[in-house]
Amino acid sequence: MSGGRTLAKAAGFLMAANLASRVLGFLRESLMAGFFGKTNATDAYNTAFILPDLLYWLLVGGVISSAFIPVLSEYIAKGNEEEGWKVVSSVVNITLLSLSILVVIGLVLTPFFIRLQVPGFDSETTKLTIHLTRIILIQPVILAMSGLTMGVLNSYKIFWPSALGTVLYNACIIFFGTIMADPKDPASISGFAFGVVAGAIANFAVQIPALRKVGIQYYPIIDFKHPGVRKIVFLSIPIVLSYALNQIQVVVNSNLGSTLAAGSITSIWYSYRLFQLPVGIFALAIAVAVFPTLTEQAALKQWDRFRETSSRAVRMVIFITLPVSAGMIALRFPLIRVLFEHGAFSSQDTILTAIPLFYFALGISAQSVIQILPRMFYALQDTWTPVILGLVAMAFNILCMYLLIKPLQHGGLAFATSLAALFNMFWLLYILRRRLKSIDGSRIFWTSIQSLGASLLMGAVVAFWGDWLTIVLGTGTLASVFILLSGTAIGIAIYAVVAKFMRMEEFEQTLGLVQMRLKRS
Protein backbone atom coordinates (compact mmCIF):
# COMPACT_ATOMS: atom_id res chain seq x y z
CA MET A 1 0.00 0.00 0.00
CA SER A 2 1.40 3.42 -0.93
CA GLY A 3 2.45 5.89 1.73
CA GLY A 4 -0.12 8.42 0.53
CA ARG A 5 -2.96 5.88 0.74
CA THR A 6 -1.85 4.80 4.21
CA LEU A 7 -1.81 8.41 5.37
CA ALA A 8 -5.23 8.99 3.82
CA LYS A 9 -6.68 6.00 5.69
CA ALA A 10 -5.17 7.16 8.98
CA ALA A 11 -6.35 10.73 8.46
CA GLY A 12 -9.81 9.52 7.42
CA PHE A 13 -10.21 7.41 10.54
CA LEU A 14 -9.00 10.23 12.79
CA MET A 15 -11.38 12.68 11.13
CA ALA A 16 -14.32 10.33 11.75
CA ALA A 17 -13.31 9.74 15.38
CA ASN A 18 -12.66 13.44 15.96
CA LEU A 19 -16.03 14.27 14.44
CA ALA A 20 -17.75 11.89 16.87
CA SER A 21 -15.77 13.38 19.75
CA ARG A 22 -16.60 16.94 18.70
CA VAL A 23 -20.28 16.12 18.32
CA LEU A 24 -20.27 14.81 21.89
CA GLY A 25 -18.29 17.87 22.93
CA PHE A 26 -20.96 20.16 21.56
CA LEU A 27 -23.67 18.05 23.13
CA ARG A 28 -21.81 18.61 26.40
CA GLU A 29 -21.65 22.38 25.80
CA SER A 30 -25.28 22.44 24.71
CA LEU A 31 -26.41 20.64 27.86
CA MET A 32 -24.35 22.98 30.00
CA ALA A 33 -25.84 26.00 28.22
CA GLY A 34 -29.33 24.61 28.79
CA PHE A 35 -28.72 23.95 32.48
CA PHE A 36 -26.76 27.07 33.40
CA GLY A 37 -27.00 29.51 30.44
CA LYS A 38 -24.24 32.05 29.90
CA THR A 39 -23.61 32.96 33.53
CA ASN A 40 -20.99 33.32 36.22
CA ALA A 41 -21.20 29.54 36.81
CA THR A 42 -20.13 28.75 33.25
CA ASP A 43 -17.47 31.45 33.42
CA ALA A 44 -16.12 29.72 36.53
CA TYR A 45 -16.17 26.28 34.89
CA ASN A 46 -14.32 27.47 31.77
CA THR A 47 -11.75 29.36 33.83
CA ALA A 48 -11.14 26.28 36.03
CA PHE A 49 -9.36 24.52 33.14
CA ILE A 50 -6.58 27.10 32.85
CA LEU A 51 -4.28 25.82 35.64
CA PRO A 52 -4.75 22.07 34.94
CA ASP A 53 -4.22 22.65 31.21
CA LEU A 54 -1.10 24.68 31.95
CA LEU A 55 0.44 21.86 34.00
CA TYR A 56 -0.43 19.23 31.40
CA TRP A 57 0.90 21.13 28.40
CA LEU A 58 4.04 22.22 30.22
CA LEU A 59 5.14 18.67 31.01
CA VAL A 60 3.29 16.41 28.56
CA GLY A 61 1.70 18.11 25.57
CA GLY A 62 4.85 19.83 24.40
CA VAL A 63 7.01 16.79 25.09
CA ILE A 64 4.80 14.51 22.97
CA SER A 65 4.43 16.84 19.99
CA SER A 66 7.94 18.22 19.82
CA ALA A 67 10.26 15.51 21.10
CA PHE A 68 8.74 12.23 22.27
CA ILE A 69 7.30 11.04 18.94
CA PRO A 70 10.24 12.22 16.76
CA VAL A 71 12.89 10.58 18.97
CA LEU A 72 10.98 7.32 19.47
CA SER A 73 10.11 7.18 15.74
CA GLU A 74 13.81 7.52 14.95
CA TYR A 75 14.65 4.52 17.16
CA ILE A 76 11.86 2.48 15.51
CA ALA A 77 12.88 3.53 11.97
CA LYS A 78 16.47 2.45 12.66
CA GLY A 79 15.43 -0.90 14.19
CA ASN A 80 16.57 -0.14 17.75
CA GLU A 81 13.33 -0.60 19.68
CA GLU A 82 14.85 -1.89 22.93
CA GLU A 83 16.74 1.36 23.49
CA GLY A 84 13.59 3.22 22.50
CA TRP A 85 11.64 1.52 25.30
CA LYS A 86 14.34 2.49 27.81
CA VAL A 87 13.95 6.09 26.68
CA VAL A 88 10.14 5.80 26.95
CA SER A 89 10.38 4.41 30.48
CA SER A 90 12.70 7.15 31.70
CA VAL A 91 10.60 9.93 30.16
CA VAL A 92 7.35 8.49 31.57
CA ASN A 93 8.84 8.18 35.06
CA ILE A 94 10.32 11.68 35.00
CA THR A 95 7.12 13.23 33.66
CA LEU A 96 4.71 11.56 36.09
CA LEU A 97 6.91 12.29 39.11
CA SER A 98 7.36 15.95 38.17
CA LEU A 99 3.69 16.40 37.29
CA SER A 100 2.49 14.85 40.56
CA ILE A 101 4.63 17.28 42.56
CA LEU A 102 3.33 20.26 40.57
CA VAL A 103 -0.29 19.13 41.00
CA VAL A 104 0.12 19.02 44.79
CA ILE A 105 1.63 22.52 44.73
CA GLY A 106 -1.19 23.65 42.44
CA LEU A 107 -3.85 22.36 44.84
CA VAL A 108 -2.33 24.49 47.61
CA LEU A 109 -1.87 27.65 45.49
CA THR A 110 -5.17 27.49 43.58
CA PRO A 111 -6.76 30.51 45.36
CA PHE A 112 -3.75 32.70 44.59
CA PHE A 113 -3.68 31.62 40.94
CA ILE A 114 -7.42 32.21 40.38
CA ARG A 115 -7.37 35.68 41.94
CA LEU A 116 -4.44 36.55 39.70
CA GLN A 117 -6.13 35.07 36.65
CA VAL A 118 -9.59 36.64 36.94
CA PRO A 119 -9.51 39.62 39.31
CA GLY A 120 -12.84 40.86 37.92
CA PHE A 121 -14.83 37.90 39.32
CA ASP A 122 -17.03 38.50 42.36
CA SER A 123 -16.38 36.54 45.56
CA GLU A 124 -18.95 33.79 44.90
CA THR A 125 -17.72 33.19 41.36
CA THR A 126 -14.12 33.15 42.59
CA LYS A 127 -14.99 30.60 45.29
CA LEU A 128 -16.73 28.34 42.74
CA THR A 129 -13.80 28.66 40.33
CA ILE A 130 -11.35 27.57 43.04
CA HIS A 131 -13.54 24.55 43.89
CA LEU A 132 -13.83 23.45 40.26
CA THR A 133 -10.13 23.96 39.60
CA ARG A 134 -9.17 21.69 42.50
CA ILE A 135 -11.42 18.93 41.15
CA ILE A 136 -10.04 19.19 37.62
CA LEU A 137 -6.44 19.31 38.91
CA ILE A 138 -6.68 15.53 39.39
CA GLN A 139 -7.00 15.20 35.61
CA PRO A 140 -3.47 16.15 34.38
CA VAL A 141 -1.68 13.14 35.94
CA ILE A 142 -4.18 10.68 34.43
CA LEU A 143 -4.19 12.55 31.12
CA ALA A 144 -0.39 12.45 31.14
CA MET A 145 -0.44 8.65 31.18
CA SER A 146 -2.88 8.54 28.25
CA GLY A 147 -0.94 11.24 26.40
CA LEU A 148 2.37 9.41 26.69
CA THR A 149 0.68 6.14 25.72
CA MET A 150 -0.76 7.92 22.67
CA GLY A 151 2.76 9.09 21.78
CA VAL A 152 4.07 5.53 21.87
CA LEU A 153 1.20 4.17 19.76
CA ASN A 154 1.42 7.03 17.24
CA SER A 155 5.11 6.26 16.80
CA TYR A 156 3.99 2.81 15.66
CA LYS A 157 1.36 4.52 13.45
CA ILE A 158 -1.49 3.18 15.59
CA PHE A 159 -4.08 5.94 16.02
CA TRP A 160 -7.45 4.38 16.87
CA PRO A 161 -7.10 3.91 20.67
CA SER A 162 -6.41 7.57 21.42
CA ALA A 163 -9.12 8.63 18.97
CA LEU A 164 -11.64 6.37 20.72
CA GLY A 165 -10.40 7.67 24.06
CA THR A 166 -11.43 11.23 23.21
CA VAL A 167 -14.95 9.98 22.45
CA LEU A 168 -15.16 8.23 25.83
CA TYR A 169 -13.72 11.33 27.52
CA ASN A 170 -16.60 13.52 26.33
CA ALA A 171 -19.17 10.79 27.00
CA CYS A 172 -18.10 10.62 30.67
CA ILE A 173 -18.35 14.41 31.07
CA ILE A 174 -21.88 14.34 29.63
CA PHE A 175 -22.96 11.47 31.89
CA PHE A 176 -21.70 12.90 35.20
CA GLY A 177 -22.59 16.48 34.30
CA THR A 178 -26.17 15.54 33.43
CA ILE A 179 -26.94 13.39 36.47
CA MET A 180 -25.57 16.00 38.91
CA ALA A 181 -26.85 19.20 37.24
CA ASP A 182 -29.36 21.40 39.09
CA PRO A 183 -30.11 24.69 37.27
CA LYS A 184 -31.10 26.27 40.61
CA ASP A 185 -27.70 25.50 42.15
CA PRO A 186 -24.66 26.96 40.30
CA ALA A 187 -22.33 24.73 42.36
CA SER A 188 -23.87 21.63 40.75
CA ILE A 189 -21.87 22.43 37.62
CA SER A 190 -19.14 20.52 39.49
CA GLY A 191 -20.68 17.35 38.01
CA PHE A 192 -19.10 18.30 34.70
CA ALA A 193 -15.77 18.69 36.51
CA PHE A 194 -16.03 15.21 38.03
CA GLY A 195 -16.85 13.94 34.54
CA VAL A 196 -13.56 15.40 33.29
CA VAL A 197 -11.64 13.22 35.76
CA ALA A 198 -13.67 10.11 34.92
CA GLY A 199 -13.19 10.82 31.21
CA ALA A 200 -9.42 11.03 31.62
CA ILE A 201 -9.44 7.59 33.28
CA ALA A 202 -11.49 6.11 30.42
CA ASN A 203 -9.20 7.75 27.86
CA PHE A 204 -6.18 6.02 29.36
CA ALA A 205 -7.82 2.64 29.98
CA VAL A 206 -8.94 2.15 26.37
CA GLN A 207 -5.34 2.46 25.13
CA ILE A 208 -3.84 -0.22 27.39
CA PRO A 209 -4.74 -3.27 25.20
CA ALA A 210 -3.10 -1.70 22.12
CA LEU A 211 -0.02 -0.84 24.16
CA ARG A 212 0.31 -4.48 25.23
CA LYS A 213 -0.11 -5.58 21.63
CA VAL A 214 2.93 -3.62 20.42
CA GLY A 215 5.00 -5.38 23.10
CA ILE A 216 5.40 -2.83 25.87
CA GLN A 217 8.69 -2.98 27.71
CA TYR A 218 8.70 -0.96 30.92
CA TYR A 219 11.84 -0.24 32.97
CA PRO A 220 11.64 1.36 36.46
CA ILE A 221 14.50 3.73 35.68
CA ILE A 222 15.26 7.43 35.44
CA ASP A 223 18.34 7.79 33.27
CA PHE A 224 19.18 11.43 32.56
CA LYS A 225 22.46 10.33 30.95
CA HIS A 226 20.82 8.30 28.17
CA PRO A 227 21.32 10.16 24.88
CA GLY A 228 17.68 9.62 23.89
CA VAL A 229 16.40 11.06 27.16
CA ARG A 230 18.80 13.99 26.92
CA LYS A 231 17.66 14.68 23.36
CA ILE A 232 13.99 14.69 24.41
CA VAL A 233 14.76 17.00 27.33
CA PHE A 234 16.76 19.31 25.07
CA LEU A 235 14.06 19.41 22.40
CA SER A 236 11.37 19.98 25.02
CA ILE A 237 12.99 22.97 26.73
CA PRO A 238 11.81 25.60 24.22
CA ILE A 239 8.30 24.11 24.18
CA VAL A 240 8.08 24.26 27.98
CA LEU A 241 9.29 27.88 27.93
CA SER A 242 6.79 28.67 25.21
CA TYR A 243 3.82 27.29 27.15
CA ALA A 244 4.96 29.04 30.31
CA LEU A 245 5.31 32.39 28.58
CA ASN A 246 2.10 31.82 26.63
CA GLN A 247 0.23 32.07 29.94
CA ILE A 248 0.89 35.80 29.76
CA GLN A 249 -1.47 35.83 26.77
CA VAL A 250 -4.03 33.69 28.64
CA VAL A 251 -3.84 35.95 31.71
CA VAL A 252 -4.33 39.07 29.58
CA ASN A 253 -7.30 37.49 27.80
CA SER A 254 -8.93 36.38 31.05
CA ASN A 255 -8.22 39.70 32.76
CA LEU A 256 -9.76 41.70 29.95
CA GLY A 257 -12.68 39.28 29.60
CA SER A 258 -13.46 39.37 33.33
CA THR A 259 -13.94 43.17 33.15
CA LEU A 260 -16.66 42.85 30.50
CA ALA A 261 -20.32 41.94 31.08
CA ALA A 262 -21.06 38.69 32.95
CA GLY A 263 -21.00 35.77 30.53
CA SER A 264 -18.50 37.37 28.14
CA ILE A 265 -15.88 34.72 28.87
CA THR A 266 -18.49 32.03 28.22
CA SER A 267 -19.47 33.67 24.89
CA ILE A 268 -15.83 33.65 23.85
CA TRP A 269 -15.45 30.05 25.04
CA TYR A 270 -18.49 28.75 23.16
CA SER A 271 -17.47 30.53 19.95
CA TYR A 272 -13.88 29.35 20.42
CA ARG A 273 -15.15 25.77 20.65
CA LEU A 274 -16.91 26.23 17.31
CA PHE A 275 -13.74 27.79 15.92
CA GLN A 276 -11.76 24.76 17.05
CA LEU A 277 -14.28 22.30 15.57
CA PRO A 278 -12.86 22.18 12.00
CA VAL A 279 -9.34 22.54 13.38
CA GLY A 280 -9.81 19.43 15.52
CA ILE A 281 -11.77 17.36 13.03
CA PHE A 282 -9.72 18.03 9.91
CA ALA A 283 -6.41 19.81 10.54
CA LEU A 284 -5.41 18.03 13.74
CA ALA A 285 -6.39 14.65 12.30
CA ILE A 286 -4.22 15.23 9.23
CA ALA A 287 -1.36 16.60 11.34
CA VAL A 288 -1.39 13.65 13.77
CA ALA A 289 -1.55 11.14 10.91
CA VAL A 290 1.26 12.74 8.93
CA PHE A 291 3.64 13.48 11.82
CA PRO A 292 5.17 9.98 12.31
CA THR A 293 5.75 9.77 8.54
CA LEU A 294 7.47 13.17 8.52
CA THR A 295 9.73 12.17 11.41
CA GLU A 296 10.62 8.90 9.65
CA GLN A 297 11.38 10.67 6.34
CA ALA A 298 13.49 13.27 8.14
CA ALA A 299 15.39 10.57 10.08
CA LEU A 300 16.16 8.77 6.80
CA LYS A 301 16.92 12.12 5.03
CA GLN A 302 14.28 11.53 2.35
CA TRP A 303 13.86 15.25 1.70
CA ASP A 304 11.89 15.11 -1.56
CA ARG A 305 9.33 12.80 0.04
CA PHE A 306 9.32 15.04 3.14
CA ARG A 307 8.43 18.10 1.02
CA GLU A 308 5.73 16.23 -0.90
CA THR A 309 4.15 14.83 2.28
CA SER A 310 4.17 18.28 3.91
CA SER A 311 2.76 20.02 0.84
CA ARG A 312 -0.03 17.48 0.43
CA ALA A 313 -1.05 17.89 4.08
CA VAL A 314 -1.02 21.71 3.98
CA ARG A 315 -2.96 21.88 0.70
CA MET A 316 -5.54 19.40 1.94
CA VAL A 317 -6.08 21.42 5.12
CA ILE A 318 -6.47 24.68 3.19
CA PHE A 319 -8.88 23.10 0.70
CA ILE A 320 -11.09 21.74 3.49
CA THR A 321 -11.05 24.59 6.02
CA LEU A 322 -11.51 27.69 3.84
CA PRO A 323 -15.08 26.72 2.85
CA VAL A 324 -15.78 25.72 6.46
CA SER A 325 -14.73 29.22 7.52
CA ALA A 326 -17.03 30.84 4.94
CA GLY A 327 -19.90 28.54 5.81
CA MET A 328 -19.54 29.14 9.55
CA ILE A 329 -19.69 32.90 9.02
CA ALA A 330 -22.74 32.60 6.76
CA LEU A 331 -24.63 30.23 9.10
CA ARG A 332 -23.34 31.38 12.49
CA PHE A 333 -26.76 32.39 13.86
CA PRO A 334 -28.67 29.15 13.11
CA LEU A 335 -25.59 27.19 14.22
CA ILE A 336 -25.56 28.81 17.65
CA ARG A 337 -29.35 28.55 17.95
CA VAL A 338 -29.30 24.82 17.25
CA LEU A 339 -26.41 24.07 19.60
CA PHE A 340 -27.00 26.39 22.53
CA GLU A 341 -30.27 28.37 22.44
CA HIS A 342 -32.47 26.45 24.84
CA GLY A 343 -33.13 26.46 28.55
CA ALA A 344 -31.28 29.34 30.21
CA PHE A 345 -29.46 30.32 26.99
CA SER A 346 -31.50 33.15 25.42
CA SER A 347 -31.77 34.68 21.94
CA GLN A 348 -29.76 37.64 23.21
CA ASP A 349 -27.00 35.22 24.23
CA THR A 350 -27.03 33.90 20.65
CA ILE A 351 -26.46 37.41 19.28
CA LEU A 352 -23.62 38.04 21.74
CA THR A 353 -21.96 34.68 20.98
CA ALA A 354 -22.21 35.23 17.20
CA ILE A 355 -19.96 38.30 17.48
CA PRO A 356 -16.73 36.53 18.57
CA LEU A 357 -17.61 33.56 16.35
CA PHE A 358 -17.50 35.80 13.27
CA TYR A 359 -14.01 37.01 14.15
CA PHE A 360 -12.75 33.58 15.15
CA ALA A 361 -14.00 32.08 11.87
CA LEU A 362 -11.78 34.44 9.90
CA GLY A 363 -8.74 32.61 11.27
CA ILE A 364 -9.84 28.98 10.95
CA SER A 365 -7.60 28.15 7.97
CA ALA A 366 -4.54 29.83 9.46
CA GLN A 367 -5.05 28.06 12.78
CA SER A 368 -5.49 24.78 10.90
CA VAL A 369 -2.28 25.14 8.88
CA ILE A 370 -0.46 25.93 12.13
CA GLN A 371 -1.29 22.39 13.29
CA ILE A 372 1.05 21.09 10.58
CA LEU A 373 3.87 23.62 10.16
CA PRO A 374 5.43 23.35 13.66
CA ARG A 375 5.37 19.56 13.33
CA MET A 376 7.55 19.92 10.24
CA PHE A 377 10.12 21.67 12.43
CA TYR A 378 9.71 19.05 15.16
CA ALA A 379 10.31 16.30 12.59
CA LEU A 380 13.56 18.10 11.74
CA GLN A 381 14.26 18.05 15.52
CA ASP A 382 14.18 21.85 15.62
CA THR A 383 11.89 23.03 18.41
CA TRP A 384 13.34 26.50 18.92
CA THR A 385 12.25 28.11 15.65
CA PRO A 386 8.47 27.52 15.95
CA VAL A 387 8.63 28.49 19.62
CA ILE A 388 10.38 31.79 18.92
CA LEU A 389 7.90 32.59 16.16
CA GLY A 390 5.06 31.56 18.45
CA LEU A 391 6.26 33.96 21.14
CA VAL A 392 6.44 36.79 18.62
CA ALA A 393 2.89 35.92 17.51
CA MET A 394 1.83 35.89 21.18
CA ALA A 395 3.18 39.42 21.66
CA PHE A 396 1.33 40.46 18.50
CA ASN A 397 -1.86 38.87 19.88
CA ILE A 398 -1.61 40.73 23.19
CA LEU A 399 -1.05 44.03 21.37
CA CYS A 400 -4.10 43.38 19.18
CA MET A 401 -6.23 42.48 22.24
CA TYR A 402 -5.46 45.81 23.90
CA LEU A 403 -6.09 47.72 20.67
CA LEU A 404 -9.32 45.92 19.73
CA ILE A 405 -11.15 45.32 23.01
CA LYS A 406 -12.42 48.88 23.29
CA PRO A 407 -13.97 49.17 19.80
CA LEU A 408 -15.04 45.50 19.46
CA GLN A 409 -15.49 44.39 23.11
CA HIS A 410 -15.33 40.57 23.39
CA GLY A 411 -15.22 40.38 19.58
CA GLY A 412 -11.86 42.15 19.73
CA LEU A 413 -10.35 39.33 21.82
CA ALA A 414 -11.47 36.82 19.17
CA PHE A 415 -10.23 38.94 16.26
CA ALA A 416 -6.82 39.26 17.93
CA THR A 417 -6.53 35.47 17.98
CA SER A 418 -7.29 35.21 14.25
CA LEU A 419 -4.83 37.96 13.34
CA ALA A 420 -2.10 36.32 15.43
CA ALA A 421 -2.76 32.96 13.72
CA LEU A 422 -2.33 34.55 10.28
CA PHE A 423 0.83 36.31 11.45
CA ASN A 424 2.28 33.06 12.82
CA MET A 425 1.36 31.01 9.73
CA PHE A 426 3.07 33.35 7.27
CA TRP A 427 6.29 33.49 9.28
CA LEU A 428 6.41 29.72 9.71
CA LEU A 429 6.00 29.24 5.96
CA TYR A 430 8.71 31.80 5.23
CA ILE A 431 11.27 30.20 7.56
CA LEU A 432 10.45 26.68 6.32
CA ARG A 433 10.97 27.80 2.73
CA ARG A 434 14.42 29.13 3.63
CA ARG A 435 15.27 25.98 5.59
CA LEU A 436 14.12 23.42 3.00
CA LYS A 437 14.92 25.55 -0.09
CA SER A 438 11.45 24.68 -1.37
CA ILE A 439 8.09 23.95 0.26
CA ASP A 440 6.13 23.52 -2.97
CA GLY A 441 5.01 27.11 -2.47
CA SER A 442 3.44 27.66 -5.90
CA ARG A 443 1.05 24.72 -5.49
CA ILE A 444 0.15 25.82 -1.96
CA PHE A 445 -0.46 29.38 -3.22
CA TRP A 446 -2.73 28.34 -6.09
CA THR A 447 -4.65 25.93 -3.90
CA SER A 448 -5.24 28.82 -1.49
CA ILE A 449 -6.40 31.21 -4.24
CA GLN A 450 -8.72 28.67 -5.86
CA SER A 451 -10.14 27.53 -2.52
CA LEU A 452 -10.67 31.14 -1.37
CA GLY A 453 -12.49 32.07 -4.58
CA ALA A 454 -14.76 29.02 -4.40
CA SER A 455 -15.39 29.64 -0.68
CA LEU A 456 -16.37 33.30 -1.16
CA LEU A 457 -18.86 32.35 -3.88
CA MET A 458 -20.26 29.56 -1.74
CA GLY A 459 -20.44 31.77 1.36
CA ALA A 460 -22.34 34.52 -0.47
CA VAL A 461 -24.96 32.09 -1.76
CA VAL A 462 -25.37 30.33 1.58
CA ALA A 463 -25.66 33.65 3.46
CA PHE A 464 -28.40 34.80 1.09
CA TRP A 465 -30.19 31.46 1.45
CA GLY A 466 -29.94 31.50 5.25
CA ASP A 467 -31.15 35.11 5.59
CA TRP A 468 -34.10 34.50 3.24
CA LEU A 469 -35.18 31.32 5.00
CA THR A 470 -34.91 33.04 8.40
CA ILE A 471 -37.36 35.69 7.21
CA VAL A 472 -39.71 33.01 5.90
CA LEU A 473 -39.43 30.39 8.65
CA GLY A 474 -38.37 32.39 11.70
CA THR A 475 -35.77 31.54 14.36
CA GLY A 476 -37.32 28.51 16.05
CA THR A 477 -35.31 25.38 16.71
CA LEU A 478 -36.78 23.31 13.87
CA ALA A 479 -36.46 26.23 11.46
CA SER A 480 -32.84 26.76 12.48
CA VAL A 481 -32.07 23.06 12.03
CA PHE A 482 -33.54 23.15 8.52
CA ILE A 483 -31.67 26.35 7.63
CA LEU A 484 -28.41 24.90 8.96
CA LEU A 485 -28.73 21.54 7.20
CA SER A 486 -30.01 22.93 3.89
CA GLY A 487 -27.41 25.71 3.89
CA THR A 488 -24.63 23.20 4.58
CA ALA A 489 -25.83 20.91 1.77
CA ILE A 490 -26.06 23.80 -0.70
CA GLY A 491 -22.63 25.03 0.35
CA ILE A 492 -21.01 21.62 -0.11
CA ALA A 493 -22.62 21.21 -3.52
CA ILE A 494 -21.52 24.65 -4.75
CA TYR A 495 -17.98 24.23 -3.48
CA ALA A 496 -17.67 20.73 -4.97
CA VAL A 497 -18.95 21.89 -8.40
CA VAL A 498 -16.58 24.88 -8.49
CA ALA A 499 -13.61 22.79 -7.33
CA LYS A 500 -14.42 20.13 -9.92
CA PHE A 501 -14.72 22.80 -12.62
CA MET A 502 -11.28 24.18 -11.66
CA ARG A 503 -9.88 20.62 -11.70
CA MET A 504 -8.38 20.96 -8.25
CA GLU A 505 -6.19 18.01 -7.27
CA GLU A 506 -7.30 18.37 -3.64
CA PHE A 507 -10.93 17.81 -4.65
CA GLU A 508 -10.06 14.39 -6.07
CA GLN A 509 -8.01 13.55 -2.96
CA THR A 510 -10.83 14.56 -0.64
CA LEU A 511 -13.40 12.66 -2.70
CA GLY A 512 -11.18 9.57 -2.60
CA LEU A 513 -10.85 9.93 1.17
CA VAL A 514 -14.63 10.08 1.58
CA GLN A 515 -15.17 7.08 -0.72
CA MET A 516 -12.57 5.10 1.23
CA ARG A 517 -14.37 5.80 4.51
CA LEU A 518 -17.75 4.82 3.02
CA LYS A 519 -16.38 1.52 1.73
CA ARG A 520 -15.02 0.66 5.18
CA SER A 521 -18.29 1.63 6.91
What's the rounded Cα separation, in Å, for the pair 475 and 472?
Answer: 9
- What pLDDT does residue 515 have? 58
- What pLDDT does residue 381 have? 84
219: CB partners within 8 A, 6+ apart: 85, 86, 89, 90
* pLDDT string in tens for the chain (521-residue length): 445 555 666 666 677 777 787 778 878 888 887 888 767 888 889 889 888 888 887 777 666 656 777 777 778 777 787 888 888 888 888 888 988 999 999 999 999 989 887 887 888 989 999 999 999 999 998 988 888 888 788 777 788 888 888 889 999 999 999 999 888 888 899 999 999 999 999 999 999 998 888 777 888 888 888 888 888 888 777 777 777 666 677 777 777 877 677 677 778 888 888 898 888 888 888 888 888 889 889 988 899 999 999 999 999 999 999 999 999 999 999 999 998 888 778 888 899 999 999 999 999 999 999 999 999 998 898 888 998 998 899 999 999 999 999 889 889 999 999 999 999 999 999 999 999 988 898 999 999 999 999 999 999 999 999 999 999 999 998 999 999 999 999 999 999 999 999 999 888 877 766 655 545 54
Domain limits of the chain? 39-236
DSSP string of 355-422?
A: HHHHHHHTTHHHHHHTTTHHHHHHHTT--HHHHHHHHHHHHHHHHHHHHHHHHHTHHHHHHHHHHHHH
Read off the pLDDT of residues 343-379 as tens digits, 9 standing for 90 and up. Answer: 778 888 899 999 999 999 999 999 999 999 999 998 8
Q: Which residue in 202, 170, 195 sits closest to 17, CA to CA? A: 170
Indicate whether this model's pTM tops 0.85: no
Under 8 Å between Cβ of 200 and 169: yes
Amino acid in the structure at residue 355: I
Read off the pLDDT of residues 257-284 as tens digits, 9 standing for 90 and up. Answer: 776 776 777 788 888 888 988 888 888 8
Under 8 Å between Cβ of 262 and 347: no
Read off the pLDDT of residues 108-149 as tens digits, 9 standing for 90 and up. Answer: 999 998 988 788 788 898 999 999 999 999 999 898 888 888
Terminal C-alpha separation, the chain? 20
Radius of gyration of the chain (CA): 22
- What pLDDT does residue 521 have? 47
- What pLDDT does residue 65 have? 56
Q: Which residue in 370, 285, 326 sits closest to 498, CA to CA? A: 326
What's the rounded Cα separation, in Å, for the pair 351 and 342?
Answer: 14
- What pLDDT does residue 266 have? 78
